[in-house]
Amino acid sequence: MHSALAFALDALIFIGLAWTVWRALGRSIPIAVIPIIIGLLLAATGALPASWGIPSKPGDQLGLLGVLLLAFTAGLETRQSAHLPSAPGAAPLPRTQAMRFIASAGMALLLPFALGTLAAHSYFTGLPGWAAPKGGAWTGSMAIGLCIAVSALPVLIGIVRELGPLHRPLTQLAVRIAVIDDAVLWTGLALLLIAAEGGSLLAGASSLTALALGVVVLLAAAGTLAQRMRTEPPAWLVWLALPLFLVAGAWASSRLGLHALLGAYFGGAMVPPAWTKRLPVERIGHFALIGIAPLFFGHSGLKIDGSVLGWASLQASIALLVLAVLAKLAAVLLCPPASALSRRETLAVGALLQCKGLMEIVAATILRDKGLLSEHAFAALVTLAVLSTLLTGPFFRALLRRRPLADTGGRQTA
């Protein structure tokens, strides 16, 4: 089939059909999971003829651009909060409450990571086809643990907006925890990839490798210097600088042997907060999520070996889902983010944090591409991300159905 026609069909299936299904379902489920489900179904049934040329090469390239833009906006989101749901007139937290909040965010990431890693090492990586192609047993186990610990910031923000203002104090709290965990996740992902390389990233460093390190330092220095300057640049200069941060970060991380998505994320995180407050971060992310990135996520599902999808894979996904949900709930119960929350409200925050969404798919894709996840593990984790994301809204509502959160008055929860 001609490449242009293959690309048109590619876009029609994973962008057009996904959007149509999303609208037909009344936007009751996050649009992010629909192209993944379509890809999984096509991979499992083999209904897509190979002669159609799908996934197409232009579709792969455009989808990668979309997910790079999503990772970049996720980095922007960690540096500013103007676009996040917030309570009017919210005051800064006292020091003791702020420390409690940070400790809760750390527990919400570390406990699922530890339990996921131990479960993977003791059981899952011993299953047929689950051993990581590269790295040792513990490295592959930590890769699975990292995916278990993910909280999906971009999708979670969308779910929070769909939940409306009634539960705003709780949803705002969950998003702020997810912002912290998202930053730690990407840092941990980079460290895991560096560890898997066994220190070979800088071995025999070429001039281009040195240049990549210089680019990273330059981006960080430029962002810090621009933040310290009191004068704000014109809007056109900010818009001109954005693609430079994105492209330079993605290129540098790729050159260092990591993944371009890591560089895109950290490139966004290096943009000065004063600049990002002037940008329509939400609209940029929304455009990437609906208009371009579905190709990447649909292809992620489609490229899974259909032979690994079956009852055994679904059982593993459900077991991982139960582990991920219980770990998040246990984490917030052991270290609640705010002392004023009831047990039911604390569990509701945990229900939001267990959402995996796009970030797990992105993290799992990076780890699979680097050989730290097998195809069997990748298929199970993608299925887990879909199930977890679909569960988030109904689970949150079910926990608060009997006791809806009314006006919280002066209670400070975030």
For 274-334, the DSSP string reads: HHHTTS-HHHHHHHIIIIITHHHHHHHHHTS-GGG-SHHHHHHHHHHHHHHHHHHHHHHHH
Statement: residue 91 has pLDDT above 50:
no
Task: State residue 144's pLDDT score.
Answer: 92
Task: State residue 324's pLDDT score.
Answer: 92
Statement: residue 190 has pLDDT above 50:
yes
Task: State residue 229's pLDDT score.
Answer: 75
Q: Where are the domains of the chain?
A: 3-87+96-400
Distance CA 379, CA 306 (A): 9
Burial of 198 (0-12, 13-18, 19+ CB in 10 A): exposed
Mean pLDDT value across the chain: 79
Task: State residue 122's pLDDT score.
Answer: 92
Statement: residue 148 has pLDDT above 80:
yes
Task: State residue 201's pLDDT score.
Answer: 53
Distance CA 344, CA 396 (A): 10
DSSP sequence for 127-160: STT-S-SSS-HHHHHHHHHHHHH---HHHHHHHH
Furthest CA-CA distance within the chain:
63
Average pLDDT score over residue span 356-367: 81
Tell me the per-residue pLDDT of 69-87, one tens digit each, with 9 for 90 and over.
887 887 787 665 444 444 4
Average pLDDT score over residue span 260-285: 80
Statement: residue 386 has pLDDT above 50:
yes
Statement: residue 30 has pLDDT above 80:
no
Statement: residue 155 has pLDDT above 80:
no
Cα separations in angstroms, 361 against 95, 193, 233, 256, 385: 36, 16, 36, 22, 7
Top pLDDT among 283 and 319 is at 319
Of 164-168, 213-217, 350-354, the range with the highest mean pLDDT is: 350-354
Statement: residue 150 has pLDDT above 60:
yes
Distance CA 290, CA 293 (A): 7
Give residue 142's pLDDT band: very low, low, confident or very high (50, 70, 90). Answer: very high
Task: State residue 154's pLDDT score.
Answer: 63
Average pLDDT score over residue span 99-124: 89
Give residue 383's pLDDT band: very low, low, confident or very high (50, 70, 90). Answer: confident
Statement: residue 413 has pLDDT above 50:
no
What whole-number percentage of the chain has pLDDT above 70?
Answer: 84
Task: State residue 157's pLDDT score.
Answer: 65
Task: State residue 160's pLDDT score.
Answer: 67
Its CATH class, for the domain covering 3-87+96-400, is mainly alpha
Average pLDDT score over residue span 90-116: 78
Statement: residue 220 has pLDDT above 60:
yes
Tell me the per-residue pLDDT of 208-219, one tens digit each, with 9 for 90 and over.
777 877 888 888
Task: State residue 193's pLDDT score.
Answer: 81
Tell me the per-residue pLDDT of 317-332, one tens digit each, with 9 for 90 and over.
899 999 999 999 999 9
3-state helix, strand, coil split of the chain in percent (to 5) is 70, 0, 30
Statement: residue 90 has pLDDT above 50:
no
Task: State residue 95's pLDDT score.
Answer: 65
Burial of 271 (0-12, 13-18, 19+ CB in 10 A): buried
State if pTM tops 0.75: no
Average pLDDT score over residue span 161-182: 72
Statement: residue 152 has pLDDT above 80:
no
> Vertex 301, ends 295 and 303: CA angle to 5°?
90
What whole-number percentage of the chain has pLDDT above 90?
Answer: 10
Tell me, rounded to whole angstroms, the distance of Cα 42 from its chain centroid. 24
Beta carbons of 55 and 316 less than 8 angstroms apart: no
Distance CA 147, CA 378 (A): 10
